[in-house]
A and B are shown apart, each in its own frame.
Chain A
């Protein structure tokens, strides 16, 4: 019964190590065959536990894990036709690159000649031919990662599970290996599930981004959805790039509502996905940091902007192609504007300047 479908369904999956608290708490998720899925969340949010349950290194306390239409709970890792790439790779230190990659074939009883031939083909695929006889300790981090990938891929799994695969690498290599992962995924045409705590990594790679907090899924969807349209304050803050403001609804008028704020005008917010707002509700809204424009007091607001909040510049960080300006716009939360470099230096602010923070009314997003 060879089933090559790598679609995964998690249904009501729970995991508890101590029988009291659930590390994974009722997770439901569908991942399409051949998708690149990233689980993201702070450490301890249960993302690695989910990965290990899919791999078969942990059993769920409750729920089903279905791969290619088959419930795999209780099956041994190798029977699931999943393969795992471990954090910091777990390459066998006593085996050469070739022997490491051929390991899975060796334990399946394949003859030495056959398995070395297969391993060599895989080594070529990850461009490590000249290092085939080296030991892991003699390889650089990037090369080790490619060995780990090749070792996991040689069994032709239908799902490849990657546990923080890029965390052991330095910044530059990380970007490079990121592309390599994506290339391998497309070449192999199988489902990749990748656990990370780096937002940039997730949105750069994934077809499906799953944001987690305390064992629960907070939001799952395409990268752009999750980044640009966070459901709630947690996702907005975790994914970054957003300013989150909160306040009470002052009035609701047609397609928008107004949030009471220190500013005399209040904040106008389009209703969008939240038609059920009523006066007096406490509401969080998100405004992208790169949507915020800064105007000197007394000057005209750009077109489409109805809200402007007087703020003082707290700090300025030069970031290259943009300038990060930190403001005291809202009392409790941080408020940041990403100003394009050219715009900023046309009329630079200094710390302590008073500016009006404004944005196009349509770009304010009410959160759940």
Chain B
């Protein structure tokens, strides 16, 4: 060994001064640079959103920009009572209902697809790429196609038929991708152990797979709900005569120039945060109950 090294001294240059010295517990300079970048990113991410939340609490004199003019709930009341802002309450109602339906279907269908995709079978790659295609296709084009299809078939477009399907073409690919990641962490030996102990296929799904995968299924549900609740491009040509909430917001951005718009932003964000909080809370609760942190 030493002979080998002695033979080739000229090929090994001494380490450059840029070589990293062992850290002495302090942070390298890159930490501070990147931490600043990260802080700036988070600020840019949340800052504008908080601006409109704050501005939505102005009083009747309020405008679209700072400075803040008074404090009141005026624009929230205005939002739900004024005809000129459109049917906010109804669209809100529809969006929630639609999101719940989409969530349930997304969870069930993605879970089943996740089960199916665990094994390779003839045609699986085709279906997988079809799913990816559904994800990357321009939403507006798909929406128009769906709208034309319903028209050609003589069906009425409505939020619970054509828009539901159009939204599923958006939420399902996400659900399937998340399910892929979730399934890859499922040790198939658990399933085999269940069979070994006499469980039927359904019992092993009900008693082993679903409880073990519960956090992942909640994540799929979160994707399903929030993506549907926020879906716009695919719903535009498919929702029929009654608007969903994002469509309502869209029409408001075009013709409402009062803080009502911001008030609506605040309200929908509160709903989103409740859903996110509930989902993440559920996942944390499940993990905690599993006691994966403590060792006996």
Instruction: Report which A residues bind B (CB closer than 8 A).
Output: 55-57, 76-78, 83-84, 86-88, 90, 92-94, 103-104, 106-108, 131, 134-135, 137-140, 143, 151-152, 155
Contact = CB atoms under 8 A, between A and B. Distances in A.
Given A86-B192, A90-B189, A92-B212, A104 B290 contact: no
Contacts of A104: 197-198
B294 A108 contact: no
B197 A93 contact: no
B189 A137 contact: no
Given A84-B196, A94-B212, A139-B296, 15 more contacts: A55-B196, A56-B196, A78-B196, A78-B198, A90-B193, A93-B212, A93-B292, A107-B198, A107-B199, A108-B198, A137-B294, A137-B295, A138-B294, A143-B296, A155-B198
B200 interface: yes
Contacts of A107: 194, 197-200, 203, 207
Contacts of B190: 90, 92-93
Interface of B: 187, 189-190, 192-200, 203, 207-208, 211-212, 214, 290-292, 294-296
B214 to A, nearest CB: 8
Contacts of B292: 93, 137
16 contacts: A76-B195, A78-B195, A78-B196, A78-B197, A78-B198, A84-B192, A86-B189, A86-B193, A106-B207, A134-B291, A134-B296, A137-B290, A137-B291, A138-B294, A140-B296, A143-B296
Contacts of A135: 290-291
Contact of B211 (A84, A94, A139, A152): A94
A57 B296 contact: no
Chain B contact surface mostly:
helix
A87 B212 CA distance: 19
Contacts of A137: 290-292, 294-295
Nearest to A107: B199
Given A93-B212, A107-B203, A134-B296, A57 B291 contact: no
A277 to B, nearest CB: 45
Interface centre among A56, A103, A107, A151 (most CB of B within 10 A): A107
A94 B197 contact: no
A105 to B, nearest CB: 9
Nearest to B188: A90
Contacts of A90: 187, 189-190, 192-193
Closest 3 A/B residue pairs (Cβ): A78-B198, A104-B197, A138-B296
B264 to A, nearest CB: 41
Query: Which of A87, A94, A140, A155 counts the most chain B CB atoms within 10 A?
Result: A94
Contact of B194 (A103, A140, A155): A103
Nearest to A99: B207
